[in-house]
Amino acid sequence: MTDDSETLQTPPIAPATVEEFRDRLASITEDLPKRLRQCADHIAANTDRIAVSTVAELAAGADVPPSALMRFCQIIGFSGFSEMQKLFREAYAPGWPDYSTRLKNLKANRAGSPAALLAEFVEAGRLSLESLAKSVDEQVLDRAVATLSRADTIHVVGLRRAFPVASYLAYVFEKMAVPAMLHDGVGKLDHRFALRPGDAVLAITFAPYSEETLTLAADAHARGLPVIGLTDTLTSPLARLADAVVTVPEVDFGAFRSLSATIALAISLAVAVGSARE
């Protein structure tokens, strides 16, 4: 008998995804002794808290001693609670952990062929877009669009790294017949006096933040004009000057960003403003 039970025993195949976890849970729940069943039920109802709880907390929730919960983890196929928790912690932020490490490696051996480089940038772009979709704050976006739609003229400013974005915004605004002015710093001319009451500023800057962009934003802010910021983090100096700050998560490759997410955001903003004004 003993050998039989050994053979039939729960195979130590731990679920590799949240999906698999749920399947396994459903398949074993019914023929489980009382306490383990309590575990299963509580876990099923609170799957999302696994990532942020301790054994003791979860056990208390299921009204069982910690050791029961440990047994439960092992029955599912994990070596213990920590391994199970790992699954949920990683599922929460997929891909991210070793990504920047990979970039560093690639940077180290600069033997990268053009095609290999391209693959990296494509991947970076895809990830950026994904995390943009996940993280964007709809309220802020709505507010930004509303503000810009009311403006007489939109002053777009973004230099260096942000200049491609600024120039694309200017292009789209032009196509949609939205009065806009691109502050491009050509000839080091200072166009700040072009700002009139009723106008709004759309400023784009990423670390290291460009002095001129911040100056223009500060100037507009001081004069009571609405400022919309497009930047990398909420700690950016733009945050203090702007009425609405939209942040874009973008992965750097050395000094270079893929800009995919930023451009996608910019163009959405521009098209939304264009439509709203009609």
Partner DNA sequence: TGCCGTATGGAATAAAAATTCCAAAAGTTG
Partner DNA sequence: CAACTTTTGGAATTTTTATTCCATACGGCA
CB of 41 to DNA, least distance (A): 13
Note whether 16 binds DNA by CB under 7 A: no
- Contacts of 15-20 with C-beta under 8 Å, sequence gap 24+, read 15/76, 15/77, 15/87, 16/87, 17/87, 17/91, 18/47, 18/87, 18/88, 18/91
Orientation angle between helical segments 34-45 and 66-76, nearest 10 degrees = 80
Given DNA, a copy of itself, none, residue 21, with its beta carbon under 5 to 8 Å by kind, binds: none
Part in contact with a copy of itself (CB under 8 A); list of ranges 73-81, 196-204, 214-222, 255-263: 255-263
Note whether 55 binds DNA by CB under 7 A: yes
How crowded is residue 44: how many other Cβ atoms within 10 Å of its Cβ?
12
Distance of alpha carbon 223 from alpha carbon 220, whole angstroms: 5
Note whether 8 binds DNA by CB under 7 A: no
Q: Which of 68, 70, 75, 130 binds a copy of itself (CB under 8 A)?
A: 130
Nearer to a copy of itself, 132 or 227 (CB): 132
Helix (H) or strand (E) holding 138: helix 138-150
Site for DNA in 74-113 (CB under 7 A): 74, 79-83, 85
Given a copy of itself, DNA, none, residue 51, with its beta carbon under 5 to 8 Å by kind, binds: a copy of itself
Q: Which of 16, 44, 56, 177 binds a copy of itself (CB under 8 A)?
A: 44
Part in contact with a copy of itself (CB under 8 A); list of ranges 67-75, 109-117, 192-200, 218-226: 109-117
Helix (H) or strand (E) holding 227: strand 227-231
How crowded is residue 101: how many other Cβ atoms within 10 Å of its Cβ?
9
Contacts of 245 (CB under 8 A, 6+ apart): 140, 228, 229, 230, 231, 234, 236, 238, 239
Note whether 138 binds a copy of itself by CB under 8 A: yes
Part in contact with a copy of itself (CB under 8 A); list of ranges 2-10, 65-73, 192-200, 227-235: 227-235
Note whether 66 binds DNA by CB under 7 A: yes
Side-chain-side CA neighbours of 40 within 13 Å: the count stands at 20
Find out whether 206 and 163 touch, Cβ atoms under 8 Å: no
CB of 92 to a copy of itself, least distance (A): 5
User: Would you tell me which residues interact with DNA (CB under 7 A)?
Assistant: 5, 33-36, 54-56, 64-68, 70-71, 73-74, 79-83, 85
